Amino acid sequence: MNVSAATTIRVLLVDDHALVRDMLRERLQRELSMQVVATAASADEAVALVPELQPDVILMDIDMPGLICFEAARRILASHPQTRFIFLSAFCHDHYIAESVRFGAYGYLTKQEPPDRVVTAIRAAMRGEVTYSNAVRERLVIEPTGVRLATSCEPRLESLSAREVETLRYISRGLSMKEIAALMCVGRRTAEKHTENLMRKLAIHDRVELARFAIREGLAEA
């Protein structure tokens, strides 16, 4: 029964929905050589937990309130580059897939998958393998040089920087400049500058229209 710490996969489970999170934790705990070291209800919490817990795999929901999950992943990878991310989402938007591919996530699973498949994906990640759900794989082209999306993004979005996309996502959730600046760990002036720039690039000058645009383009959920 006793499994040495060296072979136990340490998992951090991040989902704002208690129902899925708690049941999935129980399911993963039943696995030998797998330990859910903690659960978190937001990406902010996950960022705070990583230095102490040093998880091998972070299983993360995509659409959560607070810090954007991809930004959380970027921050975690900057200090703990060995961390392996697997995303689990009810949504299957090209932008989410593109971001998870871009920073080398070890998987993107939809909630159509049975729990066993989540377990398999976690084990595969530890072997260095990437797992995509069928619905996700259908949107990807696998080439010798790597993986890319089958369809290209809306051209206006291509012109936005990563920070501007992040700002746009927060605006579309109805957050104020002050709240956005706090989440991005920047001054209010900087957040406003990002907003001005993205409004100019998109030629949209109203936060309601920005929100509609971001939701339409699959950058955010309504």
Partner 1 sequence: MVARAAVGKDWAVSRTKVLLIDEHALMRTLLHDYLQQDPTIEVIGTAVDGDEGIQLALEHTPDVVVISVDLPDHEPFKQVRRIAGVLPEVRLVFLASRSLDRNIDEALSIGARGFLTAADSPAAVTTAIRGVARGEVVFSDEVRSRLVLKPCIARPATGVQSRLSTLSRREFEVLQHLGRGMSAQQIAPLLQVGNRTVEKHAQHIMHKLDIHDRVELVRYTIREQICSL
The residues binding partner 1 (CB under 8 A) are 16-20, 22-24, 26-27, 88, 90, 111-116, 118, 171-174, 206-209, 211-212, 215-216, 222
The CB-of-212 to partner 1 minimum distance in angstroms stands at: 6
* Of residues 66, 72, 128, the one with CA closest to residue 58: 72
The CB-of-4 to partner 1 minimum distance in angstroms stands at: 28
105 versus 119: smaller Cβ distance to partner 1: 119
142 versus 209: smaller Cβ distance to partner 1: 209
CA angle 69, 137, 133 (to 5 degrees): 65
The CB-of-122 to partner 1 minimum distance in angstroms stands at: 14
The CB-of-54 to partner 1 minimum distance in angstroms stands at: 27
18 versus 150: smaller Cβ distance to partner 1: 18
Where does the chain have alpha helices with state H?
A: 18-29, 43-53, 69-79, 94-102, 115-126, 134-137, 155-158, 162-171, 177-184, 188-202, 207-216
201 versus 207: smaller Cβ distance to partner 1: 207
- The secondary structure element, H or E, covering residue 59 is strand 57-61
- Coil, strand or helix at 213: helix
The CB-of-195 to partner 1 minimum distance in angstroms stands at: 13
Contact of 47 with 76, CB cutoff 8 Å? yes
126 versus 215: smaller Cβ distance to partner 1: 215
